[in-house]
């Protein structure tokens, strides 16, 4: 490799301008991740013990949360209203910026999520037809606001994936998140990348270890594949066409697996073609808007049924606990009758048996009977509230939204090739129709059961009062038909519990079955056995059908994401555990200057990838690599090129971040020295001053084309950028905000220092001594 060359100094350049120090604040914790809000002056930080802290620009703390899981990645939504957290066990947690409460919990991965990137469809990437194909969600025209998770009597509804205590935020999030099309990309330690529209509707997933990589090698196409790769960085372009990712792992020539020299272990850069998101963004917007709302409502239905089962079970446990004493008393008195027989005898004027008398007067009593009646009545009222305010509205809105999806599915030319299957949606539509019937059935059964319970308790209470006042064989008058119905169908049975249990079933008489089959066929449906099913079983069938129907777009989109380019960046020793080592890198897309006046499909972006090369790799020492135009594989676009920056030996690169306008911010720290406290530097460099050298996309005999580059010596007094001295050692992370023009640096003495990067060059520079 050629000797390192010094950057030429411009004779007319002005002296370097230090950044203005906004403030220097102590922090009582160690920070491992930090990210600026793209729209507001807010900084989200993750501590070593996985607490998430939000500060204003003036360092006022807004809130602190402890998710209870190890946080491994963080990013903001494009509108700055949601902070996304990736966890060690593969969860994506979405939190509200206003109060830190969790809006959504999504299980996207099986292992630790190590990087997140949330990209929004930029206005310049839109075409003229987008306006013609725009879609209006008509649900709000015909329905009131969607119901939320029920909360009654202090009971929570269980693990639904939604935040139980923040229903208003969920509702606002579900509607507001759909205004601009955006995609959350998440990469994990196992090499999987997940794509979620609006951050909540999963629309694709690929494992980079399973993706064939076709590259030009010596004039021929060779197929490579990654093994044991993890995802280090993901970056989706604003026009949604390209995804650039960095992944450490083994690169294998799958046509020559037996040749050890065809295996390379190191960091690789890949370009994935995600143009399916751009080409079908209108269709995907429509599907995800309906599907994500349906999934929210499905959780409302699930929680409602669970809540009703808990409430009713609590009341019935009290009823059974008290009335179970009667069979024991009957047996103790040597009688062979049943509880039903004893109450029947009491109802029709036969002499009260000693067992029943003892049960009513001693075991049950007036106070206990009133308590049971109150518990059942209270449970009944709560059932009615859940059905009327949560369950039934949710089912009706799901039905409407599925009808909308059914109409879209019949537009085959637009929706079939992204996986919206008409047959599957038809099946789900029938399932939701049957669930509407089951909800109505449950309401009627519950009303009847509660009425019979009320009549029975009233009659038994009168009997107890008479028996307590004086022994007598006379019983109070009652609606005997209602009491008989209760004794025959409810004393030892529980229809409400049956309807809320997926493992129960009902038997219908033959005439009813035949009549039902005729009606079902006449209506064009197929499920002739739905009366045998319970409410819970019908819901489970709907849930399974929805999962199958929504899995089809997920699978279809996943199959249309392909690897376009591969660029090995640097090798490492095979003994190094790449999946657990921290890789200093940054990736971003910038709008090309020559296209500034263009719009629509001509809108293009240039990718920049910046990374620190480990000591000794490629025979380099203390170097940073910069690559651009990697994803622009078209011959009409600028060619792939790169450069190397060599850091002075007395410094080491702590972190690096791409900044706006093709700039790079580098954080340097003096190497430890016994007679020096150690200083650090924030350096901002413009890439337009770098000597980029074209790189071949063809694989040479040495696959690391970065090695061909000559290193440019980085001098801290260079006129090609700005340098700010910090009289302390610093540590990762470096948090840079392109929208706000600021950078936050964390010193080893646990201080946070915020610098303004885009200060006025004409201002006096007396702030340079602030840290002295």
- Three-state SS string over 405-441 comes to HHHHHCCHHHHHHHCCCHHHHHHHHHHHHHHHHHHHH
Most confident of the ranges 218-222, 585-589, 660-664, 688-692: 585-589
Q: What is the pLDDT of residue 47?
A: 94
Give dist(CA 257, CA 248) in Å, integer: 19
Look at the alpha carbons of 328, 333, 338, 343 in this order and tell me if their dihedral is positive or negative.
Answer: negative
Q: What is the pLDDT of residues 298-311, one digit of tens each?
A: 999 999 999 999 99
Average pLDDT for 285-310: 93
The conformational region for residue 459 under phi > 0 = left, psi -120 to 50 = alpha, else beta, is alpha
Q: What is the pLDDT of residue 112?
A: 95
Letter string b/e over residues 560-586, b meaning 16 or more CB atoms within 10 A of that residue's CB? bbbbbbbbbbbbbeeeeebbeeebbbb
Between the alpha carbon of residue 595 and those of residues 176, 604, 637, the distances in Å are 31, 7, 11
708 SS3 class: helix
Give dist(CA 53, CA 44) in Å, integer: 6
Q: What is the pLDDT of residues 48-82, one digit of tens each?
A: 999 999 999 888 999 999 999 999 999 999 999 99
Give dist(CA 585, CA 102) in Å, integer: 29
- Percent of the chain having pLDDT more than 70? 80
Best CA proximity match to 743, nearest among 652, 681, 669: 681
Q: Do 624 and 709 form a contact (C-beta atoms < 8 A)?
A: no
184 SS3 class: strand
Q: What is the pLDDT of residue 464?
A: 84
Give dist(CA 693, CA 704) in Å, integer: 14
Q: What is the pLDDT of residue 16?
A: 42
Q: How would DSSP label each residue in 102-168? A: EEEEEE--SS-EEEEEEEE--GGG--THHHHT-----HHHHS-SPP----BTTB-----SB-TT-HH
Confidence of residue 638 (pLDDT cuts 50, 70, 90): low
Q: What is the pLDDT of residue 583?
A: 87
| Type and span of the H or E element at 379 | helix 365-386
Best CA proximity match to 283, nearest among 403, 136, 409, 415: 415
Give dist(CA 203, CA 195) in Å, integer: 6
Confidence of residue 603 (pLDDT cuts 50, 70, 90): low
Q: Do 170 and 299 form a contact (C-beta atoms < 8 A)?
A: no
257 pLDDT higher than 80:
no
Give dist(CA 265, CA 229) in Å, integer: 10
483: tokens are 């009491």
Give dist(CA 452, CA 486) in Å, integer: 6
Q: What is the pLDDT of residue 719?
A: 61
Q: How would DSSP label each residue in 314-326? A: HHHHHHHHHHTHH
Q: Do 378 and 392 form a contact (C-beta atoms < 8 A)?
A: no
Average pLDDT for 4-27: 54
Q: What is the pLDDT of residue 601?
A: 45
Confidence of residue 18 (pLDDT cuts 50, 70, 90): low
Contacts of 131 (CB under 8 A, 6+ apart): none
Q: What is the DSSP letter of 68?
A: S
Weakest mean pLDDT among 328-332, 557-561, 594-598, 758-762? 594-598
More confident residue, 127 or 761: 127
Strands (E), 192-319: 192-197, 201-207, 213-217, 220-227, 233-236, 242-253, 263-273
133 pLDDT higher than 70:
no
20: tokens are 């203005």
Q: Do 592 and 605 form a contact (C-beta atoms < 8 A)?
A: yes
Q: What is the pLDDT of residue 423?
A: 93
Most confident of the ranges 3-7, 82-86, 561-565: 82-86
Residues in the chain, total: 772
Q: What is the pLDDT of residues 648-674, one digit of tens each?
A: 888 889 999 999 878 899 999 888 764
Q: What is the pLDDT of residue 574?
A: 66
Residue that the structure tokens 């249990």 belong to: 501
The per-residue pLDDT of the chain, averaged, comes to 82
């Amino acid at each position: 490799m050629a000797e390192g060359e010094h950057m030429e100094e411009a004779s007319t350049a002005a002296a370097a301008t230090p950044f203005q120090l906004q403030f220097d604040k102590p922090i009582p914790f160690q920070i491992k991740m930090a990210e600026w809000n793209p729209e507001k002056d807010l900084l989200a930080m993750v501590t070593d013990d996985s607490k998430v802290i939000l500060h204003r620009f003036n360092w006022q703390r807004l809130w602190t949360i402890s998710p209870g899981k190890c946080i491994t990645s963080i990013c903001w939504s494009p509108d700055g209203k949601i902070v996304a957290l990736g966890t060690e066990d593969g969860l994506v947690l979405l939190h509200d910026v206003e109060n830190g409460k969790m809006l959504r919990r999504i299980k996207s991965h099986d292992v630790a999520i190590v990087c997140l990137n949330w990209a929004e469809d930029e206005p310049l990437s839109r075409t003229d037809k987008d306006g013609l194909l725009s879609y209006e969600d008509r649900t709000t025209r015909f329905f009131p606001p969607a119901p939320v998770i029920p909360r009654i009597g202090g009971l929570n509804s269980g693990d639904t994936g939604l935040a139980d205590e923040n229903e208003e935020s969920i509702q606002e999030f579900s509607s507001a998140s759909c205004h601009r099309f955006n995609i959350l990309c998440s990469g994990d330690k196992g090499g999987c990348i997940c794509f979620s529209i609006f951050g909540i509707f999963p629309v694709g997933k690929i494992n980079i270890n399973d993706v064939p990589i076709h590259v030009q090698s010596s004039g021929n196409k060779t197929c490579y594949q990654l093994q044991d790769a993890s995802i280090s960085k993901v970056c989706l372009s604003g026009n949604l066409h390209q995804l650039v990712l960095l992944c450490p792992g083994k690169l294998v020539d799958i046509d020559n697996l037996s040749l050890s020299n065809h295996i390379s272990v190191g960091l690789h850069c890949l370009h994935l073609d995600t143009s399916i998101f751009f080409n079908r963004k209108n269709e995907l917007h429509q599907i995800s808007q309906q599907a994500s709302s349906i999934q929210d409502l499905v959780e409302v239905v699930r929680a409602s049924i669970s809540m009703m089962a808990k409430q009713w079970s609590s009341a019935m446990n009290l009823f059974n606990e008290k009335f179970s004493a009667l069979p024991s008393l009957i047996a103790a008195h040597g009688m062979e009758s049943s509880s039903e027989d004893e109450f029947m005898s009491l109802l029709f004027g036969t002499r009260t048996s000693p067992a029943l008398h003892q049960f009513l007067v001693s075991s049950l009593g007036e106070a206990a009977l009133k308590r049971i009646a109150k518990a059942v009545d209270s449970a009944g009222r709560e059932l009615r509230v859940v059905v009327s305010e949560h369950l039934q509205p949710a089912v009706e809105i799901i039905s409407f939204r599925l009808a909308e999806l059914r109409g879209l599915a019949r537009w085959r030319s637009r929706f079939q090739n992204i996986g919206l299957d008409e047959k599957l949606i038809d099946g789900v539509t029938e399932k939701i129709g049957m669930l509407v019937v089951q909800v109505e059935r449950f309401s009627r059964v519950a009303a009847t059961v509660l009425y019979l319970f009320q009549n029975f308790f009233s009659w038994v209470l009168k009997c107890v009062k008479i028996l307590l006042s004086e022994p007598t064989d006379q019983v109070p008058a009652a609606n005997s038909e209602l009491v008989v119905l209760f004794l025959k169908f409810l004393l030892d049975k529980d229809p409400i519990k049956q309807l809320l249990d997926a493992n129960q079933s009902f038997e219908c008489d033959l005439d009813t079955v035949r009549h039902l089959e005729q009606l079902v066929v006449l209506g064009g449906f197929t499920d002739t056995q739905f009366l045998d099913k319970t409410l819970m079983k019908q819901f489970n069938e709907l849930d399974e059908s929805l999962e199958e129907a929504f899995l089809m777009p997920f699978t279809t989109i996943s199959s249309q994401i392909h690897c376009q380019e591969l660029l090995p960046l640097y090798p490492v020793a095979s003994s190094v555990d790449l999946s657990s080592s921290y890789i200093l890198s940054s990736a971003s897309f910038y709008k090309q200057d020559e296209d500034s006046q263009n719009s629509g499909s001509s809108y293009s972006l240039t990718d920049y990838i910046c990374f620190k090369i480990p000591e000794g790799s490629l025979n380099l020492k203390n170097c940073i690599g910069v690559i651009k135009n990697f994803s622009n594989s078209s011959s009409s676009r600028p060619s792939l090129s790169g450069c190397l920056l060599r850091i002075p030996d007395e410094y080491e690169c702590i972190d690096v971040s791409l900044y706006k306008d093709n700039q790079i911010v580098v954080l340097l720290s003096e190497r430890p020295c016994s007679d020096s406290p150690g200083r650090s530097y924030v350096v901002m460099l413009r890439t337009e001053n770098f000597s980029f050298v074209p790189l071949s996309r063809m694989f040479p005999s040495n696959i690391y084309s970065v090695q061909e580059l000559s290193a440019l010596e980085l001098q801290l007094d260079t006129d090609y950028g700005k340098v700010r001295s910090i009289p302390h050692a610093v540590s990762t992370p470096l948090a840079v905000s392109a929208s706000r023009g600021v950078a936050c640096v964390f010193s080893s003495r646990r201080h946070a220092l915020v610098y303004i990067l885009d200060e006025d060059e004409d201002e006096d520079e007396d702030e340079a001594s602030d840290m002295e």
